[in-house]
Structure 1
Amino acid sequence: MTGRRRSSSFRSIRTAVACAAAMTATGSLLSGCGLVPSASGATKDPVTVMTWAPEGTSATNMPGMPAMAEAYARWVNKQGGINGRELNVITCNERNDTVSAGRCARRAVKEDVAAVVGSYSQHGRSFMSRLEGAGIPYIGGYGASDEEFTSPHSYPVNGGNAALVAGSGRQLSSGCERVALVRPDTISGDQMPSLLDAGLAHGDKPHAVDVRAPEDATQYTEHAELALAGATGSADGTGTVSGACVTAALGDRTDTFFDSFRRLESAGEHIRIASVLGSVQQSLVDRTGGADSPFEGALVTGWYPPANDPAWEPMREVVREHAFGDNDVDVTDPGVQTTWIAYTVLRQVIESLGDEPVTGHTLRQALDDGVGGKGIDTGGLTPPLSWHYEDLLAVRDFPRTANAMVTFQQVRDGRLVPVREGFVNVAQSLEERYADD
């Protein structure tokens, strides 16, 4: 059974978001639904979990994810905990390297955490086997490693980089005749060309030109020239191909690449630029000029609704009241958003256990059972989530994929706004891409 059976836009969930998000909203938002949680203290054994992400590195940094986890814990504990249980969050700096990722996993085992929640790491080989050995579930990882989509102990809330890149290809398949892809020269980056091509195939477009680039460079002039030549079909980038497009997915260095790109004399307005959320997000657009930003008009593919969608209001209120002005917690950051969704999942699973002990084993049982077959409602931020075997997608290399939905967005007047309403299902593109291997 594939994910295509869930191809609706979930409009009924989105239109009822005020009460559909009740399980994750703050007390003031819940009052209108008659669901104000008790402010009494937690009475049962506390639940300890861990959130990790890289901080202070020369490449990818996600400080907002552990900061969001801590804000969530402060909020939920002020409301009396989760089902009467205090939530204790331990954070760890994954440092974007294999040694530190393994160290965080060892600490999780030593601290006997019930789960690792809402975390980021590209180094699944360094941490997943340790979690599996200890029976610890990995709930709502960012989707940056293959192991998140293969391990039976992993419960991803989005389709990871695979869905984003395939979705970007799908978005570019309309209006782009030639596409150059600038991506990291890494193992995970090596998968991107075929994924983008799988999306481009939706519009019968040719394969993208692959431009490998370091993910920690300070300038990308050489790679910008290669991308321009690939998109225009001419060595000097002065070709007249209609629909020339350049897409880059370099994480924190995407801005650096496009800065080099726009300095090229021949990179005029006839070149359309694109990216994926996480490489380009609202805070970057704001920082680079808003409506005057070089990203104005850029096409961006994301996992979730745009940051100004009403479905995010519960998260925004928690951040306002419990993040204490922490600048790391950017509500437009997909890492922060993923952590919020992951803790939404954790909360509903713990509540489904009632008076049962909350352990890695009981959490996995509830997750594998689809929380009683009902799935988990995230208030329209994702489709209802379930990792029961009948709900997983038929993506051979990523068998734990439960959500292959993406959103198409564009920067207009300095704001990321939806290009179309609702979600786009890229399950078929993913299935066909991996079926061809």
Structure 2
Amino acid sequence: MTGRRRIRSTFLPRHLTRRVRAGALATGALAACVSLAAGCGAVPGATGGSGDDGPITVMTWAPEDTKTSNKPGMPAFAEAYARWVNGQGGINGRPLNVLTCNDRNDTVTAARCARRAVEEGAVAVVGSYSQYADSFMPALEGAGIPYIGGYGITNNEFTSPLSYPVNGGQPTLLAGLGRTLADTCGPVTLIRPDTIAGDQLPPLLNSGLKAGRHERAGDQRAAEDATSYDGQAGQALEVATAKTGERGCVVPALGDRTNTFMDSFRRARADYPEVRTATVLGSVDQSTIDASGGASGPYEGSYVTGWYPAASDSRWDPMKKVIKEEAFGDNRIDPADAGVQTTWIAYTVFKQVVESLGDGEISADTVSEELDSGLKVTTGGLTPTLRWTFQAELAAVGFPRLVNANVTLQVVEDGRLVAARKGFTDVTRTLRDAELG
């Protein structure tokens, strides 16, 4: 018997497509099960049929050992989480089986990871990072596999009906940062990758600047895998000091290459001590600040927008407990890394979904349907209560799946990344007024 595979329309509400699918599946089941000798049962690889008491299979992927962005801590933490939850008796008494995949920052390999998730019966892809949603999302959508808690690096994660993001991705970080810099900076220059994903960044930063009645940022493209950014650093400093009496700001948003840019920036900055830097979490974390010189480094005084509370916040203690018990000494897993934090939150969501299903079937279909039913998920205060709807408030600007537009503002003080403002800032209105597309 062949496994049944769901193809969901992106143009109709799901409660309508489910009715059509239910009839089709019933007809297909009759045709497939005419012969008792043929047998009928769940087939791994379609919608994650893993029986009523067997292991629950999921996948987590991220790039590792590449020349550009690497997130080895995400799959490493997913494996540690599985060891921890299985040591607690599993989820509803069922063991969690975590598959991992290295997408190698490559479009073909990303698609292969998705196909493997389908073939091995994953009921969800949880807490993952990939720049190539155009490659992996069609395979997941064809099999009906939900994508829970992606890193928010691509627009597809905020448009696909099978995506359930836990943060607001780059859109919220840049909009929030722009709004902050509008009150504190003169000329602003953005340094960003010369890629399709990088092309999406300027209008997002500008949306926050516009909300604060500030002029647009200068836009400087840079090679994603460069080993030096001397030219870009010098040009950015010239722009930042173009207006006498105003303290300009430089915003590097180059992911793993941000630190490489800052090495060039540090050398060129000697004649421009008044210029300030600002960036987003994911491009900078505490380990980056430490490696660059701490309080004497180029990040001192920088504003950094993030999705979650600072890593020192006690709300992260449950995640740190899992790391201590199941991954102590694994230097791939940094509790201050936004990828690791996102993976923790994504698995927190997935665990609550499975628990809400009780003794029922756990499959890709039932997981996504439970999420679509209006289920409210709490994350211990690390995010607002999450609830995904068919049309979110930001659908009009191209982000129908963006349900968490909250950001936090942090600042580097005495070499430490600390909260600059209490609580979250909601940038929904800023994004709604953005000039995107």
Mapping 1:6-25, distance limit 5 Å:
none
Select the residue among 201, 205, 213 that pairs with 2:222.
213
Distance between the aligned counterparts of 1:229 and 1:321, measured in 2? 50
Distance between the aligned counterparts of 1:83 and 1:370, measured in 2? 21
Give the letter aligned to residue 303 of structure 2: L
Distance between the aligned counterparts of 1:241 and 1:188, measured in 2? 34
> What is residue 68 of structure 2 aligned with on the other side?
59
| Mapped contact 1:395–1:430 kept (Cα < 8 A) | no
> What is residue 261 of structure 1 aligned with on the other side?
265
Select the residue among 292, 302, 323 that pairs with 1:298.
302
| Mapped contact 1:213–1:223 kept (Cα < 8 A) | yes
Give 1:286 shift. 1.7
> What is residue 324 of structure 1 aligned with on the other side?
328
Distance between the aligned counterparts of 2:146 and 2:429, measured in 1? 28
Report Cα offsets for 1:171-205 as digits up to 9, x if no partner. 21111121011011111111111111100112111
Give the letter aligned to residue 282 of structure 1: Q
Distance between the aligned counterparts of 2:369 and 2:345, measured in 1? 20
> What is residue 412 of structure 2 aligned with on the other side?
411
Give the letter aligned to residue 181 of structure 2: L
Report Cα offsets for 1:128-172 as digits up to 9, x if no partner. 010000010000000011111110000000011111111111121
* Closer, same or farther: CA 267–247 of 1 in aligned 2, 3 Å: farther
Select the residue among 265, 272, 276 that pairs with 2:276.
272
Give the letter aligned to residue 49 of structure 1: V
Give 1:215 shift. 1.1
| Mapped contact 1:303–1:407 kept (Cα < 8 A) | yes
Distance between the aligned counterparts of 1:243 and 1:152, measured in 2? 43
Mapping 1:388-427, distance limit 5 Å:
388-389=389-390, 392-427=393-428
* Closer, same or farther: CA 326–269 of 1 in aligned 2, 3 Å: same
> What is residue 388 of structure 2 aligned with on the other side?
387
> What is residue 252 of structure 2 aligned with on the other side?
248
Q: Which has the higher contact order (CA 8 A, sep 6+)?
A: 1
Select the residue among 68, 80, 98 that pairs with 2:107.
98
| Mapped contact 1:45–1:85 kept (Cα < 8 A) | yes
| Mapped contact 1:261–1:267 kept (Cα < 8 A) | no
Give 1:377 shift. 0.5
Mapping 1:3-402, distance limit 5 Å:
44-233=53-242, 240-264=244-268, 267-371=271-375, 375-389=376-390, 392-402=393-403
Distance between the aligned counterparts of 2:239 and 2:317, measured in 1? 42
| Mapped contact 2:407–2:427 kept (Cα < 8 A) | yes
Unaligned runs of 5+ in 2: 1-51
Report Cα offsets for 1:11-53 as digits up to 9, x if no partner. xxxxxxxxxxxxxxxxxxxxxxxxxxxxxxxx92210000000
Q: Secondary structure at the match of 2:183?
A: coil
State the Cα RMSD in Å.
1.4
> What is residue 44 of structure 2 aligned with on the other side?
none
- Give me the TM-score of the superposition, normalised by structure 2: 0.86
Distance between the aligned counterparts of 1:325 and 1:344, measured in 2? 23
Higher deviation after alignment, 142-151 or 259-268: 259-268
Distance between the aligned counterparts of 1:396 and 1:410, measured in 2? 29
Give the letter aligned to residue 335 of structure 2: V
Unaligned runs of 5+ in 1: 1-42, 234-238
Bigger radius of gyration among the two: 2
Higher deviation after alignment, 423-432 or 117-126: 423-432
| Mapped contact 1:64–1:336 kept (Cα < 8 A) | yes
- Give me the TM-score of the superposition, normalised by structure 1: 0.86
> What is residue 431 of structure 2 aligned with on the other side?
430
User: Identity over aligned residues, as a percent?
Assistant: 59
Give the letter aligned to residue 200 of structure 1: L
Q: Secondary structure at the match of 1:409?
A: strand
Give the letter aligned to residue 389 of structure 1: F
Distance between the aligned counterparts of 2:290 and 2:410, measured in 1? 16
| Mapped contact 2:58–2:124 kept (Cα < 8 A) | yes
Alignment: residue pair count: 386
Give the letter aligned to residue 71 of structure 2: M
| Mapped contact 1:228–1:267 kept (Cα < 8 A) | no
Give the letter aligned to residue 363 of structure 1: V
Give 1:394 shift. 3.8
